Amino acid sequence: MNFSKYKFILIGAIITSVILVGVFLFFKKNLFSFLITTAKINKETQIDPKEPIIINFSKTILAKNFKDSFKIYPSEGVVLKWENKNKRLIITPKNFWKPEQSYKISLSNFRNKLFYKTSKMDFNFSTIEYPKVETFYPANGSKDIVLGIEDPMTVNFEKSAKDFWVKIKLDPYSDIEYQYNSEKTQFKFLPKNTIENGKKYLVEIYTKYIEDKDESYRKIYEGEFETLPTNPDSWDSNFELRLAQAKKFTRAKILEGKYIDVNLDIQVMTIFENGKILDAFLISSGLRGMDTPKGVTQIYNKHPRPWSGKYGLFMPYWMAIRSNGLFGIHELPEWPGGYKEGANHLGTPVSHGCIRLGVGAAQKIYEWADIGTSVIIY
């Protein structure tokens, strides 16, 4: 028996078998690739509420009865549209995708143009988030807050809130006036009602997608702040500290133009322009029985250094607050020899009814105030 001959036949058979298996596997793989359909979603995150979802297929899909193969979780009404010879599926919400929602699209039991049934496919996508508060003024826990048109409640968002309604609630309640910038990244709010002094306010900010129902508002911020009290617990005996208190606690009573505010109780004058406090100064007003008249008045006339024949004194930087000239605002009285009276009495009522100011302060106010500038004394 020729074993070498059979050996070569066996080797040849093995090689042939390997080749045939390789050819079979090659054709099987390519046939499978030829038959199967793959697909890819165009975008998976930060989907806008009205933005369509697009799924691109590698092969043309038989659209007939495809709706039976389509499921979306959570359930949402959608419109399906085919393009690119049924290779592109456009999925548009009938209403809108809900913000901050994760969706799952499941496709099963559908066929491509070769009638080959495609395996189950799942696609996931998530929608845009609700606006997030980056900063809020007044900050949570703030005290001594004075709200006004120059310092309103202000919300800054991390990104534009153009597709959302934003509202704010105050407790105690107040109607709110608001405005926002063109990018809708910043909102400013002011209470329409008078804000109480020394009051704690709770603030909540809510938002919803512009087409969503009112009951869908979602709270995105909560905090509290406390407004500035009308007066401190006590006025400091240290005059420098008292002036600092006056700058902090004195509120503008006239919001347009210049005006002079005189608080007789604490012997402090503050000056305002367009509702903004500029400075505060110690004064000496009238002694008891010679009280400085209270009320709303104005600067009637001015003179840099008039002579008072009644008292035999110069009254530097005189500004009359009565039309008859009986009372005025002026620097410390001065004897003809140059002695200034009452420098150590500033902060205490010692005059005969006029309002005295110290050296430097009187000149500053004299040069700042105009004839006709309002004066409120209380």
- CATH number, domain of 359, equals 2.40.440.10
338 & 285 share domain: yes
**Structural domain includes residue 9:** no
189 & 279 share domain: no
120 & 150 share domain: no
Q: How far apart are CA 272 and CA 191, in angstroms?
A: 23
358 & 251 share domain: yes
- CATH number, domain of 116, equals 2.60.40.3710
Q: End of a domain among 126, 141, 172?
A: 126
244 & 327 share domain: yes
**pLDDT number for residue 6:** 57
**Structural domain includes residue 3:** no
**Structural domain includes residue 204:** yes
348 & 249 share domain: yes
**Structural domain includes residue 173:** yes
364 & 247 share domain: yes
Q: End of a domain among 70, 94, 126?
A: 126
Q: How far apart are CA 155 and CA 140, in angstroms?
A: 12
259 & 370 share domain: yes
Amino acid identity at 46? Q
Q: How far apart are CA 179 and CA 111, in angstroms?
A: 54
267 & 169 share domain: no
Q: End of a domain among 126, 141, 171?
A: 126
**pLDDT number for residue 149:** 80
3-state class of 140 per DSSP?
coil
**Maximum CA extent, the chain:** 158
Among 362, 147, 354, CA closest to 271: 362
81 & 176 share domain: no
DSSP strand pairing (102-107 vs 121-126) = antiparallel
Q: Which helix (H) or strand (E) holds 343?
A: none
Count of structural domains, the chain = 3
- CATH number, domain of 195, equals 2.60.40.1220
**Structural domain includes residue 54:** yes
Full domain range(s) for residue 160: 133-227
115 CB-near residues (< 8 Å, 6+ apart): 62
This prediction has a pTM of 0.70
DSSP string for residues in 261-324 = EEETTTTEEEEEETTEEEEEEEEE-BPTTSPPPPEEEE---EESS-EETTTTEE-SSEEESSTT
**Structural domain includes residue 23:** no
**Structural domain includes residue 325:** yes
Omega before 349 within 30 of 0, i.e. cis? no
In tens digits, what is the pLDDT along the chain, a chain of 378 residues?
Answer: 455 655 656 666 666 665 555 544 554 455 456 688 999 999 999 999 999 999 999 999 999 889 999 999 999 999 999 999 999 999 999 999 999 999 999 999 999 998 999 889 999 999 999 999 999 999 999 999 988 887 899 999 999 999 999 999 999 999 999 999 999 999 999 998 888 889 999 999 999 999 999 999 999 999 999 999 988 889 999 999 999 999 999 999 999 999 999 999 999 999 999 999 999 999 999 999 999 999 999 999 999 999 998 888 999 999 999 999 999 999 999 988 888 876 788 999 999 999 999 999 999 999 999 999 999 999
**Structural domain includes residue 21:** no
141 & 198 share domain: yes
247 & 369 share domain: yes
**pLDDT number for residue 15:** 66
Asked if 254 and 339 count as a contact pair (C-beta separation under 8 A), the reply is no
Q: How far apart are CA 87 and CA 59, in angstroms?
A: 6
